[in-house]
Amino acid sequence: MRRTEYDASQAARRLKVPVAAFRWARLTGLIPDPDASSWQWSRAAVEALDADAIRAAMPCPPIGGGAAAGRIADALGTPNVIGEKASVTAFVVRRFVDRGLLVDLSANPEGTLHHPGQVAEVCRRADMADLVAADTPLGPDQAAARLGVRRVEFDHMVRLGWVRSPQSIEVRFGTGRAGAVDVALYTTASVDAIVPDHAEVDWEQLRAVGKGRRSPLASLRPAPAAA
């Protein structure tokens, strides 16, 4: 029985083009909106597509988030070196996707895929260094240190909704998964925004709270969610 409706992956196989190239062509308008449903094309619509044009729109294979981070690091003159702390990470690349600077062509939540040409465009941006600095990840302890407060104060800020983590990473203690914990990461820009966004806080006093003392933020309650 011949298929009459195709999702993106099925249509790509039907046309014998890479799925990532099909997704890129879809996002750039080369492929029209699905006509059979919100996510499926009819057989007639798929057969009318130009497979050669789809391939030409993405002549090189997509690159993963780690490779994209490496190219951005190279463009900044601070290349990522194996075995050393990376100057640009896949976390930053994901934030570039959130900003709309890069398109994720992967359907895998564990990783991203990107058009090499679009990554090259990002690398040529005059403000790229500032964007990378703003999206550089900070763990909770690093964020607290950047704000000049104790970890407990930062934990309250998270509880109060003053800052949100866009992504967590798994950190292992030892060799087994039994010692693995998820650690939330925060962008540097979101941490830096806490102080100006909450001028009602006496930051000098908060930073002077001694070890073992109850946090002044402990009695605060999150603002009610907007209707």
- What confidence tens digit (pLDDT) does each residue in 24-52 have? 999 999 999 999 999 999 999 999 999 99
Indicate if 141 and 194 belong to the same structural domain: yes
State which residues form the domain around 15.
Answer: 5-57
On whether the CB atoms of residues 169 and 183 are closer than 8 A, the answer is yes
Is residue 110 domain-resident? yes
Is residue 91 domain-resident? yes
Indicate if 72 and 85 belong to the same structural domain: yes
pTM score of the predicted model? 0.86
Is residue 97 domain-resident? yes
Residue 177 has pLDDT above 80, yes or no: no
Q: What is the pLDDT of residue 110?
A: 84
Kindly give the pairing relationship between strand 137-138 and strand 113-114: unpaired
Residue 175 has pLDDT above 70, yes or no: no
Is residue 72 domain-resident? yes
pLDDT digits (tens, 9 = 90+) for 187-203: 999 999 999 999 999 99
Indicate if 100 and 121 belong to the same structural domain: yes
Indicate if 69 and 129 belong to the same structural domain: yes
Is residue 94 domain-resident? yes
What band does 182 get if pLDDT is binned at 50, 70 and 90? confident
Contacts of residue 211, defined as CB under 8 A and 6 or more positions apart, other chains included, come to 150
Indicate if 78 and 126 belong to the same structural domain: yes
What value does the mean pLDDT take over residues 202-219? 94
Q: Bridge partners of 170?
A: 182
Nearest-angstrom CA–CA distance, 215 and 138:
22
Structural domains of the chain, count: 3
Q: What is the pLDDT of residue 15?
A: 97
Please give the C-alpha separations between residue 59 and each of 18, 22, 86, 126, 159, in angstroms, as whole numbers: 10, 12, 29, 26, 47
Indicate if 98 and 120 belong to the same structural domain: yes
Is residue 36 domain-resident? yes
Least confident among 88-97, 171-180, 200-209: 171-180
Is residue 212 domain-resident? no
What value does the mean pLDDT take over residues 147-175? 89
